[in-house]
Amino acid sequence: MKTSDFNFELPPELIAQEPLPDRAQSRLMVVDRKSGRIEHRRVVDLPTFLRAGDRLVLNNTRVIPARLFGHKVATGGRVELLLLEEVAPNTWDVLCGVARKPRPGAELLMAGGRLRARVVANDDSRFMRVEFNSREPLLNILEEEGIVPLPPYIHREIEDTHTPDTAQRQRHQADRERYQTVFARVPGAVAAPTAGLHLTEGLLAGLKGAGVGVSEITLHVGVGTFKPIKVEELTEHRMDPERYIVSAETAEAVNQTRAAGGRIVAVGTTSVRTLESVAGPDGRITAGQGRSALFLYPPYAFRCVDVLLTNFHVPQSTLLMLVSAFAGWDLIRAAYSEAIREKYRFYSYGDCMLII
């Protein structure tokens, strides 16, 4: 298959700009892979489709407020940074959001003067490596001064948090809460595992009470999740590696669930990619940590995952290709067409789909 095969037309008004007040009231399209049947439900109905002995696998990565504003010490020129990954203590790879990047050696003053930085290296792209220096832990400063890096299709006025515009600050604060799963606890992502945004603590407690196991993995979602595919032949595309952690406890629980005949229910494409990255030919997974650059597209024989909860994705994206590998592009295309007719809300703050 080719990249263009995964295109579709989406009315712009269906791109959700705000989350619903109640996470679990998002619409849930249930797609049966065997029969092709499609049902229209709500996330609160999820327990109806799971059974005792199944195991839900969540991605517990936490989105860091990784967008910072500041200026060049020498010239006063404005600087905007998106922190991507810590490659050494206090040294980060970042994305620079201004046309004229600071040169190596340039000193920067960020976060209202609370954070100094020195450019270590840059290249011909927008990426740089920066060394930070502050009297406070960097993550503490980010939590107080940084802005959550929302996807580009969610429209926000991105301004320095020191702006006097109270309404903007309040909106940024709301995004800090809602662009985060209720089980997020391991800082490191610059994008949320969005299928998990629909789950509440009450819903998870109810599933556990009904005999559904719950386990966690970690995959730190990187900026590459928004990177468009620039080649027509899928075999030529390369995914950006993302860091994952699978604990011994999770590996044992998943393997025991499968051995007992339970289903592995992946919450989100990030959970799928992590599980499939550590699964052997027999479907058993191995604990460990590393980087996954696994690109899943049709045809692919899934080794570990049996059920998938996922959002509605961008045309021609690697996420849509993964979902199509799981359920078949013909069925997914029909489901997306029905979602558009029924005016489902699309993308990160939108509705979701359960593929069984």
Inform me whether the pLDDT recorded for 166 exceeds 70.
no
Across the chain, mean pLDDT equals: 93
According to the model, what pLDDT value does residue 170 have?
75
Inform me whether the pLDDT recorded for 162 exceeds 70.
no
**pLDDT for 66-103, tens place per residue?**
999 999 999 999 999 999 999 999 999 999 987 788 89
Q: What is the mean pLDDT of residues 46-75?
A: 96
Parallel, antiparallel, or unpaired for β 55-59 and 307-311?
unpaired
143, two tokens:
């939590």
Three-state helix/strand/coil letters over the chain: CEHHHHCCCCCHHHECCCCCCCHHHCEEEEECCCCCCEEEEEHHHHHHHCCCCCEEEEECEEECCCEEEEEECCCCCEEEEEEEEEEECCEEEEEECCCCCCCCCCEEEEHHHCEEEEEEEECCCCEEEEEEECCCCHHHHHHHHCECCCCCCCCCCCCCCCCCCHHHHHHHHHHHHHCCCCCCCEEEECCCCHHHHHCCHHHHHHHHHCCCEEEEEEECCCHHHHCCCCCCEHHHCCCCCEEEEECHHHHHHHHHHHHCCCCEEEECHHHHHHHHHCECCCCCECCEEEEECCCCCCCCCCCCCCEEEEECCCCCCHHHHHHHHHHCHHHHHHHHHHHHHCCCCECCCCCEEEEC
CATH superfamily of 3-63+181-355: QueA-like (3.40.1780.10)
According to the model, what pLDDT value does residue 161 have?
53
Fold observed for domain 67-146: Thrombin, subunit H (2.40.10)
**Per-residue confidence at 349, pLDDT binned at 50, 70, 90?**
very high
pTM: 0.92
Percent pLDDT > 70 in the chain is 97
Give the contacts of 107 (CB within 8 A, at least 6 positions apart): 72, 73, 74, 116, 117, 118
Beta bridge mates, 229: none
Instruction: Specify the residue for token string 């970690």.
Output: 218
Percent pLDDT > 90 in the chain is 83
Phi, psi of 213 (to 5 degrees): -75, 155
Q: For residue 167, give Cα distances in angstroms to 146, 198, 294, 330.
A: 16, 25, 41, 44
**Per-residue confidence at 164, pLDDT binned at 50, 70, 90?**
very low
Answer for the pair 65, 161: CB distance below 8 angstroms, yes or no: no
CA–CA dist 242, 84 (Å, integer): 11
Instruction: Specify the residue for token string 């740089």.
Output: 128
Domain spans, the chain: 3-63+181-355, 67-146
Q: Could you give the angle at which helices 329-341 and 318-327 cross, rounded to 10 degrees?
A: 110
**pLDDT for 244-255, tens place per residue?**
999 999 999 999
Q: Could you give the angle at which helices 269-277 and 318-327 cross, rounded to 10 degrees?
A: 70
Answer for the pair 207, 47: CB distance below 8 angstroms, yes or no: yes
According to the model, what pLDDT value does residue 203 have?
98
